[in-house]
Structures are given as C-alpha cells and as structure tokens.
Amino acid sequence: MSKIALAFSFLLLVAFPCPWAFADGDDGDDRFERFEQELRNLRKHFQHELNALKQENSRLREDLERMREGLKNSELTPAMEEKLTEWFETQRARSSLIDIKGAEGSFITGLRFTGQIRERFEYIDNMRDFRTGRDDETDFIDSRVRLGVGMEFQDYVNAFIELQHVGYFGDSSTEFGPNLRNDEDSEVQLYQAYIDFERFFGTPVRFRFGRQEIVKGTQFLIGNADFDEGLTFDAARFTYRFHRIGLEVDAWAARLSDNYVDAVIMPGDPDDVRFDADKRDFFGTYLTWTGIHEKASFIDALEFYVLFIHDQTGDLNDANAALTGRSPAYFRPIGMTANFSNDFVGEDRWTVGGRIHGSLIDDEQRRLSYNFEMAFQFGDAGSNGAFDVDTGRPVPGGGARKHGRIRALGIEANVRHRWKEVFLSPSLEFGYVYAGGDNDPYDGVVHTFNPLFQNNHERLGYSDMFFAENIHAFSLIGRLYPFSKLEAGVGLHYFAAAADEDLGAPRAYAPLTGDLSHDAAFEFDLFIKYRYSKRVKMMLNYSRVQPGKIVSGNERALTGDAGRDSIDRAYFHVQFDF
C-alpha cells in the first residue's frame, strides 16, 4: 500500500499544489468569473422557485374559487376557519419546494432522466480460431439498455445514478460459451452512481465521487468501451479549470469497477478463471490546454498526463494461452477494451505522455486536421507463467517471465483531409499506431506496451481483433457524405508485429516459437452510418480479416496444418438515446 499512497500523493501534488489557494489568490479576472457564475446559479435557482410559485398560485386560485362557490350558502364556523388557515399555511410552505419530500435547506432544483436502448445483430465466422476444418460460424443479438436519473441541488451538489442491462441472446451454439446463450438470467447492474460537488469546500474545484466513466483524448489510453458493455471506475476525482488561460487539470484515484469482469468461460473450464477488478488500482493526472489556440491557431489543444496502475491481477494471462495449445482468442473477454494480456502477478506501471491536435487548413473549401500522441511506460513487472489447460493454474517453469523493469513506447498519428465543397464531400484519412513489443521475454525487461483502458473500436478496424500492443498498424479510410445524415466509408488496415518473439501480443496473433514473421493480418471494412433522427442512429458494417504468416506458423507449430481461414464479422446496430 505504500507504493499506492506514494503514487497518489505525487499525482495530487502535481495537479493541486494547494486548491484552496485558488479561492484567495486569484486575480481580478478569476474573481469576476466566479461572481458571474454565482449570479448565473442564483438566477437559475430563483427561476425554479418562481416557476414553482406560479404553478402553486394557479392551483390556489382554482381551490379558492371552488371554496367560494361552496361557501356562498354556508356559514364559516371557527373550526372550519382554523382548518382553512392550517391548509393555507401548508400550501405556502410547500410552494417553496420543488420536491415536497426534500429535507429543509436541501431542495432539488432540477431533475433529468436519461436512457438508452441499443440492439445489435451480429454475424461472426471463424473468430474462435483460424483452422480451416472447424465450424465456428454463429450469430446472435447484443442488447444494452440504460436508464439514469440526475438531480441538481441548490447548494452546488449534483447526483447521477445509471442502471444498465446487457445481454447476448439468440445463439444456440456453444462455440463462444454459455454467456451468449439465452439460457441464463441476465442481470441489471449499477453502471454509474456518483455525487458532484461543484464548488468543493467553497473552492473552484469540482469533486466527483463514486462510480463513473473516465474518458480522455481520443481514448488511446483511457476510454469507456462504449461500443460494448461500457467501462467505469469507482473513483474520487478532482477537476479544476483555469478559465482565463484555458487550462483544465483533472486528477483521480480509481479502481476498475466489477460490472463486466467475467471472462468468456468455455464449457468444461474452471469457473474461477476470470479477471479480478478489485486488484487493479488506477491513478492519474491529466492536463488539457485549449488556450494555446489563441496563440497558435493551427493547434486546438495540448494534453499532458501522468498515469499509474498498481495491478495485482494474474488469474488469467492470455499471453500464455499459446503455450497451452489453445488459441489466444479463446481468452479474449467479449466486449473488453482494456489490455489483459499483460496481467502479470504484480505490476506497477507508470505512463507519461502527451497529445497535440488541430487543423493545418480549415476554411469553406476543405479541412486538413491532424492528431499525434506519444506515451512512454516504465515501472516494475512481476513474473508470469503458462496456464495448465485443465486446471487454469500456472504451470511451473512454463515459460515464466522473471520480475523485470518496464520500458515501453506507444504512438498514434492521424491525418485527415476533407473536401467540403466537392460532390459527396469526400474525406481521406491515414492513421498509424505503434505499440512496442518484447523480443526477449526472459531478459528482465518488458518492452510490450500496455494500452491500459483503450477504446480500440474503429481505431484498429471494426473487427475489434487488435489492440495497441506489439504492433504496427497502418490504416487508410475513405468516407463519403451524400447528405448530412449519411456517412459511407471503406477502411483498409494492415497489422504487423513489432517484435516477432513476443509470446503475448498482438493478442490472438502472438507468434508461438519466434522468428516466424511480422505479418499479422490485413483487414477490410465496409460501413454505413445513418442518423435517423436526433435521438436515433444506425450503423451497418462488414469486416473481413485475412490472417498473415504469423497464423500460418502458429497453426503449423500446433497441428502441422498451415491453414488460416479468414474471419468475417457483420453487424447491424440501432441505438436510441433520450
């Protein structure tokens, strides 16, 4: 725990040298901005109160009219007058509340409901492994429903609660395990639940406490896995905005929530082979400077971050799945975007990096935008070992990696050009992702990059087969916009292993014996996106992945058969938000 405390203390010191000092040491501009915010909040509060009073006054008038009609031919006794006075006092007290059940001095000034219904039909062929003789074709429906309620209080405190139900059904096969079959009860889980303190102890700091999403940048390292089940953290999070210079500082101490941690358990496998989110602690400080745009118009923002993960997981390591004679794809949890291939028994990993993005050209005719991000990782990694195929437990001497230092690099770069005034408003995007790999798993130095909680969907193809780990990924994507609601495109992706002797990555394509090839796969995507209305969007996608020479070498090493069937994935996706 000393390392955790030291890391969190360091990150908080970097982010907030003395947050209370901002309340007293600001210049005139900051005080004026806070005064303006106070006025806006007061105006909002009084507007709520006024609306409530108007509604109550209207109801009182109607009640009085009815009472007058009833009293025209009746004599008002003292007892009736007393009851009438009491009734008026009760109504007068209630008129000051939006929520008549609220505690005195803690009134609800706003209430909002959110929700989502998302249904996706999927067809998958050959994603289980790449052998030509195996029949692993399947289709199913992926369903996600969310319902949330947010509350605003007059004392700068907000709260939000969101429930989620995720289910897979319609598949009668067992190729992908019982989680996809409609023979088990689905669960409703608590996806988000947090309290926001907008002015924490009277300072300009916002404090958010509870289960929440954390999304940063392009989600190269920190995302919410929105295409799948979603990803949340149980976190304490502090945010401060320097409005005058356009700088935001965000710092948090978090633990990966347990709302999705079950792995894909195949029939006959031990039930305890699963991920343990309770052992994954995540600390971070993230700076975003948008004020630089006023000084350099071609830069939209600069971002800098320091991240730390204290990881004690190790219950399942798909890095060693290959050593057991099973496809590493077997161990890939459905819908996961966090990297679990580097789950060594005990790991302290620091990530330091930055991002720059903006536009070199942006006028009525065209737009040329760019994005570049680089992250360096260092720290200590524990040992890992092969897993026994029958027990799911580590095999002594089964290729275990010794305790070592972490030294890894990750890069993402994108350039996109759009011709706005040309017919169909076409755009062309080139992307490149590099994530380091480990050419010597036993030298005491870990060079495999860990993409942390990356959202890989679309970034590395719509098949979702790859993550930023031991990889060179090249992409070329063309898009057409026939009208504002429709987008159609084609994506070409090529994947190569950065190190041909890394036994754990790229996931599902890791070379078993080394020195086989760097050629991992080629992917073709064809997609159409349509916004049916303000709240409804649709997507149709087809992806084909052609495995490369790494797969041929793996199959030859395992079975003597160098076959490598292609992978097909298609889905139709409808999402309704309110």
Q: Does the structure show a pLDDT above 90 at 328? A: no
Contact between residue 216 and residue 222 where contact means Cβ atoms under 8 Å apart: yes
Is 466 in a helix, a strand, or coil?
A: coil
The residues, ordered by sequence, that sit 6+ positions from 477 with a Cβ below 8 Å of its Cβ are: 428, 429, 431, 489, 490, 491, 492, 525
CA-based angle 166:134:497, to the nearest 5? 75
Q: pLDDT digits over 311-321, tens only? A: 876 433 333 33
CA-based nearest residue to 318, from 421, 153, 470: 470
- Residue 269 CB neighbour total at 10 angstroms: 16
Cα 507 to Cα 115, 237, 318, 512, 551, distances in angstroms: 34, 32, 8, 12, 12
Diameter over CA atoms, the chain: 104
Confidence class for position 500, pLDDT limits 50, 70, 90 = confident
Confidence class for position 85, pLDDT limits 50, 70, 90 = low
Amino acid occupying residue 73: N
Pick the range with the lowest mean pLDDT from 53-57, 155-159, 233-237: 53-57
Cα-to-chain-centroid distance, residue 387: 29
Q: pLDDT digits over 368-417, tens only? A: 999 999 999 999 886 554 444 444 444 443 444 445 789 999 999 999 99
Residue 363, H or E segment? none
Taking the alpha carbons at both ends of the chain, their separation in whole angstroms is 42
CA-based nearest residue to 140, from 160, 115, 168, 161: 168
Helices (H), 473-542: none
Confidence class for position 8, pLDDT limits 50, 70, 90 = very low
CA-based nearest residue to 543, from 529, 522, 520, 564: 522
Cα-trace Rg, the chain: 28
Tokens, residue 126: 């050959």
Confidence class for position 340, pLDDT limits 50, 70, 90 = very low
Amino acid occupying residue 562: A
Q: pLDDT digits over 201-220, tens only? A: 888 899 999 999 999 999 99
Dist CA 564 CA 549 (whole Å): 9
Is 27 in a helix, a strand, or coil?
A: coil
Is 2-35+101-577 a CATH 1.10.1840.10 domain? Answer: no
Contact between residue 93 and residue 102 where contact means Cβ atoms under 8 Å apart: no
Contact between residue 384 and residue 317 where contact means Cβ atoms under 8 Å apart: yes
Tokens, residue 161: 């609660």
Contact between residue 472 and residue 460 where contact means Cβ atoms under 8 Å apart: no
Tokens, residue 67: 């009472």
- pTM of this prediction? 0.72
Tokens, residue 514: 């080394």
Where in the chain are the domains? 2-35+101-577
Give the model's pLDDT for residue 179. Answer: 47
